[in-house]
Amino acid sequence: MSNSAVLDVLDPGLLTTVQDAGRRGWARYGVPPSGPLDEAAFAAANELVGNPPDAAALEITFTGPTLRVGRECLIAVCGADFALWVGALPVPTWHALYVRAGQIVTFGARRNGARAYLAVSGGIALPPFLGSQATYLPGGFGGLDGRALRAGDRLPLGPAAMRNPAQAAGRVWPVERRPPYTPQPTVRVVLGPQDDYFTPEGLATFLNSAYQLTPEADRMGVRLQGSPIAHRGPTGIVSDGVVAGSVQVPPDGQPIVMLADHQTTGGYPKIATVVRADLPLLAQCLPGDWVSFAAVTVAEAQRACEPWRGVGITPSPG
Amino acid sequence: MPVYPRILPVGEAAFTVEFGDAVDEALNRQVHALDVALRACPVPGLVETVPTYRSLLVMYDPRVRAADAMRTALTDALNVLATTELPAGRLVEIPVRYGGEAGPDLADVATHCGMTEAAVIELHAQPVYTVAMLGFAPGFAYLLGLPEALATPRLATPRLRVPPGSVGIAGAQTGVYALATPGGWRIVGRTDLVLFDPGRAEPFTLHAGDRVRFVPL
């Protein structure tokens, strides 16, 4: 690898991690998938720069980084909307942007959303851990030494397939293909597997109330607050499997939606599962935003996921 | 009362096959039997499975197999299962240093259970346990088979860091930590056996369905 094929971290921002499409095939050992919380924005950024949809990119949280790009390439930033510069030039998000070797990419004020994804043509090329570059902070593995980026870090870039990045620049990700982000999203859910642990009133409360995001919101999950959901009887179950999107309801009746870094098993009854296509809406919410839930059938949920499902679904060997 | 086994949707790309709602060895055996059967003869579209105490989570790719077809495949697998015998899991022996710095809660467990530390060690090392499931943290093994006399409540305040290899008791359960994590289990001992090494072909030493015996050092 030539020394120029790197991304230099001048300022890491608040919480910037390396994520690829996730670590599949290890849940049976207690290892969560990790990967991007907003899979739609992540896949868009990769496609804009000509990468495969599962190439490793940066997940940027609340405050953006400042980076020096070591070689001529394309970059794209998708997801939350930030002020953004390449060198001194203000540039838009959701665009394929041409960057000359040595130029600096600077993030400014965040205008909306919580998380943005920065993809670089060629992708980030760190050694995989259990088959993936996705950073899992609680386990301290994946990405760069299992941690968030720091100033002074150097991220190796993979070989870029693109012969002439300057020519490929300028492409815009169509607005109609972007998730309909809003601070009051209605996210679709498939009820169950433990919806029978709740009273009919409890289910009605869950589907007819808005829930506010608390500050307890991270890559493991988001804790919501609102009308308490009534359990029918026991408020705990014998631990079983959890997925990204599982809506757990602990004894206090306040739902918790599990996200990419979720524990793989859990002992709270799960009233519903958020449809994968709508997790990006939740991932972009901020504490104080309001979330509502709408029940759909499994078939409706599968149709909702059609445009981009398949990203990262291939299991690792093992 | 639900009729078991039952197949419940977990969103658009998974089902959970529930065999019951209890911590029970016979029930857990059914979970591992289905898991073994699905892994030995993979159904097209199957992505990964997560065995737990009383259910098997089955993740699938809906592009390859729609929900109804996957439900049918699981029902078929359950029907075959009723007529087959589960092979015994591998037996893994785990050498353990009980007490002292390696097992800081051994004395408390002995006091709680009204026996000597030596009696706790002898009793804990007696059974052949089953790895019911891995969860909570990477490689953390929940074991079935703890003698009732050793049941001890969790710590009131969890530790911020439990070293890897620690062997703990929480209520009627015993388990082993593969990674350093926070934890509230009563730690009675520790093994030097490496339970997780990402560089190995099989990074995790313990698999769901394995049998485990502790060997006091």
Are the C-beta atoms of A159 and A122 separated by less than 8 Å? yes
- Which of A177, A210, A238 is the last residue in one of the domains? A177
Give the C-alpha distances (Å, rounded to integers) separating B24 from A267, A311, B17, B20. 16, 37, 16, 9
- What pairs with residue B119 in β-bridges? none
pLDDT of residue A1: 44
User: What value does the mean pLDDT take over residues A207-229?
Assistant: 97
Same domain, A148 and A24: yes
pLDDT band at A220 (very low <50, low <70, confident <90, very high): very high
Question: Considering its fold, how many domains does chain A have in total?
Answer: 2
Same domain, A135 and A265: no
pLDDT band at B29 (very low <50, low <70, confident <90, very high): very high
pLDDT of residue B199: 87
Domain that residue A250 falls in: 186-304
Are the C-beta atoms of A242 and A264 separated by less than 8 Å? yes
Give the nearest partner residue to B203 out of A130, A190, A301, using CB atoms.
A130
pLDDT band at A168 (very low <50, low <70, confident <90, very high): confident
**Which of A3-7, A202-206, A234-238, B43-47 ranks highest by mean pLDDT?**
A202-206
B153 close to A (CB below 8 A)? no
Q: Does residue A202 sit within a domain?
A: yes
Tell which of A264, A275, A316 to mutate to test the B interface (max B CBs under 10 Å). A264
Same domain, A154 and A20: yes
A294 close to B (CB below 8 A)? no
**Model confidence over B45-98: pLDDT tens digits?**
999 999 999 999 999 999 899 999 999 999 999 998 877 777 778 999 999 999
Give the nearest partner residue to B12 out of A130, A140, A276, using CB atoms.
A276
Q: Which fold, B91-216?
A: Cyclophilin (2.40.100)
Q: Do A243 and B57 touch (CB under 8 A)?
A: yes
| Rg (chain B; Cα; Å) | 19
**Model confidence over A279-295: pLDDT tens digits?**
999 999 999 999 999 99
- What pairs with residue B49 in β-bridges? B58
Number of A:B CB contacts under 8 A? 145
Q: Which helix (H) or strand (E) holds B121?
A: helix B117-124
Q: Which residues in B lie closer than 8 A to residue A267 (C-beta atoms)?
A: none
**Model confidence over A56-66: pLDDT tens digits?**
999 999 999 99
Give the side-chain half-sphere CA count within 13 A for B129: 30
**Model confidence over A19-28: pLDDT tens digits?**
999 999 999 9
**Model confidence over B132-160: pLDDT tens digits?**
999 999 999 999 999 999 999 999 999 99
Please give the ipTM for the structure prediction: 0.94
Q: Which fold, B6-81?
A: Gyrase A; domain 2 (3.30.1360)
**Model confidence over A252-289: pLDDT tens digits?**
999 999 999 999 999 999 999 999 999 999 999 999 99
**Interior/surface letters B169-199, b for 16+ CB within 10 angstroms, e for the rest:** bbeebbbbbbbbbebebbbbbbbebebbeee
Q: Which residues in B lie closer than 8 A to residue A313 (C-beta atoms)?
A: 13, 47, 61
pLDDT of residue A309: 45
Same domain, A202 and A61: no
Q: Which residues in B lie closer than 8 A to residue A190 (C-beta atoms)?
A: 9-12
Q: Do B53 and A239 touch (CB under 8 A)?
A: yes
pLDDT of residue A3: 56
What is the spatial distance between Cα B71 and Cα B83, in angstroms, rounded to a whole number? Answer: 19
Q: Do B9 and A273 touch (CB under 8 A)?
A: yes
